[in-house]
Structure 1
Amino acid sequence: MAGVEYSAVGGDSYTENLIGTLLAIFGNLLVSIAVSIQKYSHVTLAGTKDPRAFYRTKTWWCGLALTVLGEAANFVSYAFAPLSLIAPLNAVSVIASSILGFIFLREKWKPKEFLKRYVLSFLGCILTVSGTYLFATFGPNYHQKLTAENIVKQVVGWPFLLYVLLEIITFCFLLYFYKQRNANYLVVILLLVALLGSVTVITVKAVAGMLVLSVQGTMQLNYPIFYVMFVCMVATVVFQATFLSQATHLYDSSVIACVNYILSTSFAIVAGAIFYLEFNHEDILHICMFLLGCLSCFLGVFLITKNRKRLKAFEPYVTMDMSQGNEGIPTIHDKGWRAVQPDYNGSFSYGALVNNDSVAPATLPEPDHNQLAVTPSPTAAPYSSADLKND
């Protein structure tokens, strides 16, 4: 687009790509470690009475601090590298989470499930790492200066206006079917998330770029476009979180992670190509190799998340052991109670902690109903008051 300034191709552009890529990888690794630490904190405190006990643990606060640091690194990475290069790097968090599950959460698989789960996950990691190398090597290497003037020119340009119009129409169409027709399909919900996410990454890159330029001495915070982009960024993030929360209540988290990564990454690449013109100066070979790397990452993430264990939801139960006193019905959090709980396999049962089909239930002798029945004789005299007194 005429009037838009670009940085020179060469060492500076390569250095900026390298800085952005390393920041994104570092940020995704930190977020994965933080989530695993916080989950470990929740697991260790699962039997406590206080539902907010994890606030008093150092591990949970350590995880929160790492989350903030990781998200900050991800945010800054958008100011240096193109959108199309940063968005697929979310696959790093998928790989890290699958590895950290063994370290922090001690996730184990049965021998019968080894070939089914572990080998596929290992193959998925190889594909994801290979894909990351491909799109990082052949990704777009041309940068535009993220000044307020350049961003305004891109916002009012006809390619972006047409893209926004198509997004609004598609979003309203999907939202109508989701709300009015009860089309609670996973693809519908995550398409809504991806459409919002494409706007989010555009605004995140704009805000981060203007902040970095301001820190470097070229003040950009006195332009209204900065605050417009900031408000759009916050609004789209909030609505994304809302739709993702609704999806987690309906579908398995592993499936959500896979589909959301594929859709959000695809829409982010398209948004970067349209708004920031990231592929305008790339040859067809580089574009094809970049797309091949993205497809390899998509397949790798699919294999990693395909056989991930599903967590079984807690099923409520009524304890049958009331021998400790008359202090009311005990709960799962009450210490000292020998509460009878659902068995390990997740089925609803009373009287045993683990199902054991090899133990036959105790049988009681069948009573002789003929002996128990008492038939009054027609000749028998009724009880008199004297008899009752003698008894």
Structure 2
Amino acid sequence: MVMSIDNVRGFALATSSSAFIGSSFVIKKIGLKKAGDAGVRAGSGGYSYLYEPLWWIGMTAMILGEVANFAAYAFAPAILVTPLGALSIIFSAVLAHFILKERLHMFGIVGCILCVVGSVGIVLHAPKEKKIDSVNEIWHLATQPGFIVYSCMAVVVALILIFWVVHRTEQRKMLAYIAICSLMGSLTVISVKAVAIALKLSFNGVNQFIYVPTWFFIVVVVICCLVQLNYLNKDWASQNATQIATELCGFVTIVAGTFLLHKTRDMGNEQSESSSLRGECELQNH
């Protein structure tokens, strides 16, 4: 299957985005550790990392990566761009191996392989994006009842996690951070897609910034990114790059394992039935 030129551009931008973001994880991790040694750790509510130059270098790399990712949404469908974000795990794991001298265990390696294979599969089968002539078209899709219900539920759950779980239960903080970032990330995708298309159309001479939906999507992007930035720093502060990569890859491993279990659930029964049939045939022959 041959990808369209826009899909190729989106693929290139998304891949470069993963490289920048993957390297930023390692650089920011070093900065967070140095800041933690000098003051209150981010995981404990401190913000001393804001005074650490290495953290800002890592943040710059992440910003460059997000800009590339943002641009990718303007050319390629979200189903192509979003999964390629998993490649940042691979870049991070490789850099952590050489720079931080950390090693992935076998499940982490398998998870990384699954990330690559899954991303390649999605890229090869990515559909050509429907032509969109206005941000108002995206607004129409985003205001469908199903998406509105999901958005409200995502915001409510995120607020419950922020104001109840995070501040009241120490043991569940890490999972709460991940859940908050995931919920906000799901809303960020559609908003980033809308803003990226607005910029693309505006550069082509069709100004989209005269429409209220465009500014609404911009506000959503800013809010969601700030929330994710805050809680990602708190989560990563207590873990090394190997643990982060292993956890993310582990999710892919679990999905793949579930699929395999589903597909092979009857194999044992089939083998038992075959053995029984062979036994009956042998008895009849005797």
1:143 alignment partner, SS class:
coil
- Change in Cα spacing, 1:260 to 1:227, as seen in structure 2 (3 Å) is farther
2:208 alignment partner, SS class:
coil
1:231 alignment partner, SS class:
helix
Aligned to 2:196: 208
Deviation at 1:39, TM superposition (A): 6.2
Relative to the length of structure 2, the TM-score reads: 0.68
Aligned to 1:6: none
Deviation at 1:22, TM superposition (A): 1.6
Matched, 1:24 2:11: no
Identify unmatched segments of 5+ residues in structure 2: 39-48, 260-286
Give yes or no for contact 1:146–1:206 (8 Å, CA) kept in 2: no
Relative to the length of structure 1, the TM-score reads: 0.52
Question: Residue 152 of structure 2: which of 165, 169, 174 is its match?
Answer: 165
Which aligned pairs between 1:274-353 and structure 2 lie closer than 5 A?
Answer: 295-296=255-256
Aligned to 1:242: 230
Give yes or no for contact 1:131–1:293 (8 Å, CA) kept in 2: no
Deviation at 1:210, TM superposition (A): 0.6
Distance in 2 (CA, whole Å) between partners of 1:47 and 1:29 is 28
Amino acid in structure 1 at the alignment position of 2:9: I
Aligned to 2:78: 83
Q: CA RMSD in A?
A: 4.2
Aligned to 2:220: 232
Deviation at 1:15, TM superposition (A): 2.3
Give yes or no for contact 2:93–2:245 (8 Å, CA) kept in 1: no
- Change in Cα spacing, 1:156 to 1:254, as seen in structure 2 (3 Å) is same
Give yes or no for contact 2:108–2:249 (8 Å, CA) kept in 1: no
Deviation at 1:61, TM superposition (A): 8.0
Which aligned pairs between 1:141-160 and structure 2 lie closer than 5 A?
Answer: 141-145=128-132, 147-160=134-147
Matched, 1:70 2:65: yes
Q: State the number of aligned residues.
A: 248
Deviation track 1:159-202 (CA, whole Å, cap 9, x = no partner) reads 22222233244334544641575375133332222111111111
Identify unmatched segments of 5+ residues in structure 1: 1-9, 110-116, 264-291, 300-391
Give yes or no for contact 1:132–1:297 (8 Å, CA) kept in 2: no
Aligned to 1:195: 183
Identity %: 26
Give yes or no for contact 2:108–2:245 (8 Å, CA) kept in 1: no
Which aligned pairs between 1:247-286 and structure 2 lie closer than 5 A?
Answer: 247-248=235-236, 254-256=242-244, 259=247
